[in-house]
Amino acid sequence: MQVPYTVKARPDTGLYNAKIGIWLFLASEVMLFGALFSSYILLRAGSTTWFVGSEELSVPIGTFNTMVLIVSSVTVVMAWASLRMDNFKKYRLYMGLTILLGLTFLVVKIMFEYLPKIEHHHIPSTHNFYAIYFVLTGLHALHVVGGLIVNAYFWGPGAKMWETNPEQFTNRIEIAGLYWHFVDIVWIFLFPTIYLL
């Protein structure tokens, strides 16, 4: 069965279906992270003692990872723009860079943040600060992993669609990009909240 409105916009919404789907999904994601940010506020306000993020965590590493995600947002939007300009080679380059940047983010997070913290027994049971730090950044890292799997699929086997249905493939990359940008926005709020305040 052919899925309708994968390329052309539905007359009543003015949008192709996947775009409505991703925005509804992102709306649910806003509530998920919103609930965790609320938990952070409650935990912090309800605590008589609290760690200062900039004293406990590495601000330079957090800043580096912030820049990595921002650059990856640029590369993924450039991948989409390349397809719209009918340039598949450039798409591959930019999507490949996006994947590399996502991997860089995860490697830095695990090797230079999580592992040293665990070695020093700074784990969720140590203090509510570390509990919310690991939950918020861990959930965000899982979202990066999810995005990487999707992006890698579209860089590799999923890219075959470019030959058979380039318009639908371009739309798919737009959808993958919207998700990736959302992950970037979550980090934009997470970074000052956890690392600086």
Partner 1 sequence: MDATQDIKKEINGYMKVFGALAVLTIVTVAVGSLKFGIGLAVVIAMVIATVKGSLVASFFMHLAHEKKLIYLFLFITLVFLMSLFFITFGTIGDQVGVKIVPESISSGVH
The single residue among 4, 59, 118, 145 that binds partner 1, judged by CB under 8 A, is 59
Residues 127/51, Cβ–Cβ less than 8 Å: yes
- b/e per residue 84-110 (b: at least 16 CB within 10 A): eeeeeeebbebbbbbbebbbbbbebbe
Q: At what angle do helices 166-190 and 88-109 cross, to 10 degrees?
A: 30
Residue with structure tokens 């979550």?
A: 186
Q: Taking CB under 8 A as the rule, does residue 46 contact partner 1?
A: yes
d(C-alpha 179, C-alpha 164), whole Å = 24
The single residue among 18, 144, 148, 178 that binds partner 1, judged by CB under 8 A, is 178
Q: Taking CB under 8 A as the rule, does residue 50 contact partner 1?
A: yes
We find the least distance from the C-beta atom of residue 73 to partner 1, in angstroms, to be: 5
We find the least distance from the C-beta atom of residue 170 to partner 1, in angstroms, to be: 12
Q: Taking CB under 8 A as the rule, does residue 11 contact partner 1?
A: no
Q: Taking CB under 8 A as the rule, does residue 63 contact partner 1?
A: yes
Q: Taking CB under 8 A as the rule, does residue 68 contact partner 1?
A: no
* Residue 132 half-sphere exposure toward CB, CA atoms < 13 A: 22
Site for partner 1 in 71-130 (CB under 8 A): 71, 73-74, 77-78, 81, 84-85, 127, 129
With a CB cutoff of 8 Å and minimum separation 6, the contacts of 164 are none
Single-letter code of the amino acid located at 61: I
Binding site for partner 1 (CB under 8 A): 13-15, 19-20, 23-24, 27, 30-31, 34-35, 37-38, 41-42, 44-52, 54-55, 59, 63, 66-67, 70-71, 73-74, 77-78, 81, 84-85, 127, 129, 177-178, 181-182, 184-185, 188-189, 191-193, 195-197
